[in-house]
Amino acid sequence: MIAQPMASHWIDGRAVEGTGPALEVRFPYDASVIATLNEAAAPQIEAALAAAARAQPEWAARRPVERGRILTEAARLIRARAEELAQLETLDTGKPIQETRVADWPSGADALEFFGGLAAAITGQHIPLGTDWAYTRREALGVCLGIGAWNYPSQIACWKAAPALAMGNAMVFKPSEETPLGALKLAEILAEAGLPPGVFQVLNGGRDLGAALLGDPRIAKVSLTGSVETGRKVYAEAASGMRHVTMELGGKSPLIVFDDADLEDAVGAAILANFYSTGQVCSNGTRVFVQEGIAERFLDRLAARAGELVAGDPRDEATQLGPLVSAGHAAKVRAAVNAGIASGARLVCGGPGDGPFVPPTVFVADDANPLATSEIFGPVLTALTFTTEEEALARANALPFGLAAGVFTRDLARAHRVAAGFEAGTVWINAYNLTPVEMPFGGVKQSGIGRENAAAAIEHYSQVKTVYVGMGGVEAPV
Ligand X SMILES: C[N+](C)(C)CC=O
Ligand Y SMILES: NC(=O)c1ccc[n+]([C@@H]2O[C@H](COP(=O)([O-])OP(=O)(O)OC[C@H]3O[C@@H](n4cnc5c(N)ncnc54)[C@H](O)[C@@H]3O)[C@@H](O)[C@H]2O)c1
The residues annotated as belonging to the active site are 248
What is the DSSP code (8-state) at residue 195?
Answer: P
Q: How far apart are CA 22 and CA 38, in angstroms?
A: 4
Element (H, E) at 201: strand 200-202
Near ligand Y by CB under 6 A: residue from 115, 173, 377, 401: 377
- Is the CB of residue 196 less than 8 Å from the CB of residue 13? yes
Distance between CA atoms of residues 330 and 325, nearest Å: 7
Going by the DSSP 8-state scheme, the letter that residue 293 receives in this structure is G
Stretch that binds ligand Y, among 19-27, 122-130, 230-238, 303-311 (CB under 6 A): 230-238
Rounded least distance, CB 265 to ligand X, Å: 20
- 280-299 residues near ligand Y, rule: CB under 6 A: 282
Q: Do β-strands 22-26 and 33-38 pair in parallel, antiparallel, or remain unpaired?
A: antiparallel
Q: Is 403 in the site for ligand Y (CB under 6 A)?
A: yes
Q: What is the CA radius of gyration of the chain?
A: 23
Sheet with strand 9-11: strands edge to edge: 14-16, 9-11, 200-202, 170-174, 143-147, 219-225, 244-248, 448-449
Contact with ligand X (CB under 6 A) among 203, 282, 325, 457: 282
Between CA 418 and CA 411 the distance in angstroms is 11
Which of 11, 158, 181, 281 binds ligand X (CB under 6 A)? It is: 281
| Residue 324 found at the interface with ligand X (CB under 6 A) | no
Binders in 347-366 for ligand Y, by CB under 6 A: none
If contact means CB under 5 to 8 A according to the sort of partner, which of ligand Y, ligand X, none does residue 430 touch?
Answer: none
Single residue of 435, 446, 447, 462 touching ligand X by CB under 6 A:
435
Q: Does 91 bind ligand Y (CB under 6 A)?
A: no
In the sheet with 426-429, reading across from the earlier edge strand, the strands are 346-349, 361-364, 380-386, 287-291, 254-257, 404-408, 426-429
Stretch that binds ligand X, among 136-144, 279-287, 328-336, 469-477 (CB under 6 A): 279-287
Judged by beta carbon distances under 5 to 8 A according to partner kind, the member of ligand Y, ligand X, none in contact with residue 150 is ligand Y
Q: Which of 225, 253, 274, 361 binds ligand Y (CB under 6 A)?
A: 225
| Least CB distance to ligand Y at residue 28 (A) | 13
d(CA 204, CA 66): 29
Binding site for ligand X (CB under 6 A): 151-152, 281-283, 435, 441
Residues that bind ligand Y (CB under 6 A): 147-152, 174, 176-177, 206-207, 210-211, 214, 225-227, 230, 233-234, 248-250, 282, 375, 377, 403, 443, 448
